[in-house]
Chains A and B, each alone.
Chain A
Amino acid sequence: MATRTFAIEDVKTGDITEAVYEHPFIVRLCHWINAVSLFVMVGSGLQIFRAFPSFGAKIPQKDLIDWPKSLAIGGWLGGALQWHLTFMWIYIATGLLYIGYQVFSGNYKQMLFVRRDVSGVWPMVRHYFLFGPKPPVGEAYNPLQKHAYSSAIVLGVLSGLTGLAIWKPVQFSWLAWLMGGFHWARLWHFLFMWALLAFVFGHLVMVVLHGWNNFVSMLTGWKKDPEYPLE
């Protein structure tokens, strides 16, 4: 896949800056729609959880987490279900469009975590968390990033499948069975949400650390002054 690059000449100073087209339109579109729909799914999901904040199999129920109402969307169980059952279609459609685009365009190659990335994960972890030296960067995404993004896609798919098992435990009884039954599917759905939130937290920290040019690239596709060498 040929990477589109620009050398930009500043009209006033004549300085030359490099820029690379990092994020195709469909990827950016899906990213932002997904950001909104994930926010709504989590908020309304937590309001739904408030109706029975437990995973005990039977009544009497023990409240597991007393989730504050102010951090939930929908106001009441019926309202939260309306949000959840509306945005799940947006969430699923965006996910399918994104995955379909990545596969057919070949763009997945820049973010998919593959075997040759395995050895590069530890040096990046050492750099980020243990003040280790910065490993040389040769591509748009480093191995740890690829791992994070690839995991997030898998978690997104799993959150959809566990949700389907809770929503339709009879029509998709085999799916609920795979997850250990309706009861476990509900617990998995909840845990995958927290895993996704952990990704989002790490993602936002990295966005802040990597600065403005990196952030703008998810809006316009173009990244000025990339931190890796262009071919």
Chain B
Amino acid sequence: MSTPTDSRKFKSINRRELLKLTPVVALGAFAIPKLQVPLLKAGLGFSDWASAKLFRSAHLAPTFADSDLTPFAKFPINDYDVDDPGVDLEKWTLTVAGAVQKPGNYTLAQIQALPKLNQNTRHVCVEGWDVIGRFGGARLTDFLKAIGADATARFVAVECADDYYESLDMATATHPQTLLCYEMYGQPLTREHGAPLRLQIPTKIGYKQAKYLTRLKVTHVLERVGYWEDQGYSEFYGL
């Protein structure tokens, strides 16, 4: 032990050490209402940016055996409005627009003429529950090729019969497991599950997998992202 230090000097050393902790006070910005909204928006935006960077087209979602399937009757029906928006299945077409060579109205038969994929994958809801379902449909990437979609476009936006709307980044839209789904458990989609056509994307959270599709647009710029996203949910939400 060296010569004793003056207690006043010790106090000033302590004060200096305490002041070094001021960066912690910066977290208090989150408590200021005016700053809270933009800060949280930036945090969510950073998470979305990181999610897009983490996404790998070659990473396939796990698939499951038929014995792992959630019974069809227990597959939840989630919607924001009505279970059945009353689509006229006889007259239904998918209207295609935007950066494509062949815009127009496409029938279900035209979509079903594309190679069919069946997959048992996990459906994860943002609420926290998850189920394993069996889905059948055409790969969205095949459909995008068929309509001559601009490969440099950044998004695929869809609209639904119940006024729900969604959008996908092009990397997810062209992922080999992203389906224009018209079958569940080997049967045509029921009305509650989105008849006649829905998105089924095992690499995305549930709310991105829109039901009752009516319009599909390939675009470079999004005017709006999605029903839930525009209220503050994650825009990318890749699993």
Binding site for B on A (CB under 8 A): 5-11, 16-19, 25, 28-29, 32-33, 36-37, 40, 48-49, 51-52, 54, 57-61, 77-79, 81-83, 85-90, 167-171, 173, 177, 182-183, 186, 216, 219-222, 230
Binding site for A on B (CB under 8 A): 1-8, 10, 13-15, 17-18, 20-21, 23-24, 27, 30, 39-44, 46-47, 51, 54-56, 59-62, 70, 74-76, 122, 124-131, 202-203, 228, 231-234, 238-239
Query: Contacting B46 at CB < 8 Å: which of A32, A37, A89, A169?
Result: A89
Contacts of A28 in B (CB 8 A): 20-21
Query: Contacting A59 at CB < 8 Å: which of B24, B51, B131?
Result: B131
Known: A89-B43, A168-B51. 15 other contacts (CB 8 A): A6-B10, A8-B10, A17-B7, A25-B20, A29-B24, A51-B127, A51-B128, A58-B129, A168-B54, A170-B202, A170-B239, A171-B56, A186-B128, A219-B18, A220-B14
Would you list 9 pairs from A and B whose C-beta atoms are within 8 A, ordered by A residue? A7-B2, A10-B7, A33-B24, A57-B131, A81-B233, A86-B47, A173-B62, A216-B14, A220-B14
| Chain B, Cβ-Cβ closest to A30 | B24
How many inter-chain residue pairs (CB < 8 Å) link A and B?
Answer: 147
CA gap between A29 and B18 in the complex, in Å: 10
Contacts of A57 in B (CB 8 A): 70, 130-131
Contacts of B7 in A (CB 8 A): 8-11, 17
Q: A59-B74, A89-B46 are in contact. Are A7 and B5 (CB under 8 A)?
A: yes
| Chain A, Cβ-Cβ closest to B175 | A170
CA gap between A231 and B44 in the complex, in Å: 50
Contacts of B70 in A (CB 8 A): 57-58
CA gap between A36 and B46 in the complex, in Å: 20
Contacts of B41 in A (CB 8 A): 82
| Chain A, Cβ-Cβ closest to B128 | A52
Contact present for A78 and B228 (CB under 8 Å):
yes
Which 6 A-B pairs rank lowest in CB-CB distance, beginning with the nearest?
A86-B43, A52-B128, A9-B4, A51-B127, A85-B47, A82-B40
CA gap between A32 and B130 in the complex, in Å: 36
| Chain B, Cβ-Cβ closest to A219 | B18
Query: Contacting B231 at CB < 8 Å: which of A16, A25, A61, A78?
Result: A78
Contact present for B17 and A168 (CB under 8 Å):
no
| Chain A, Cβ-Cβ closest to B232 | A78
How many Å from the CB of B231 to the closest CB on chain A?
A: 6
How many Å from the CB of A120 to the closest CB on chain B?
A: 27
Contacts of B54 in A (CB 8 A): 168, 171
How many Å from the CB of B161 to the closest CB on chain A?
A: 24
CA gap between A36 and B17 in the complex, in Å: 20
Contacts of A49 in B (CB 8 A): 128
Contact present for A182 and B131 (CB under 8 Å):
no
CA gap between A10 and B40 in the complex, in Å: 48
Contact present for A78 and B47 (CB under 8 Å):
no
Contacts of B44 in A (CB 8 A): 81-82, 85-86
How many Å from the CB of A230 to the closest CB on chain B?
A: 7
How many Å from the CB of B125 to the closest CB on chain A?
A: 7
Query: Contacting B39 at CB < 8 Å: which of A61, A86, A173?
Result: A86
Q: A25-B20, A28-B21, A32-B24 are in contact. Are A171 and B4 (CB under 8 A)?
A: no
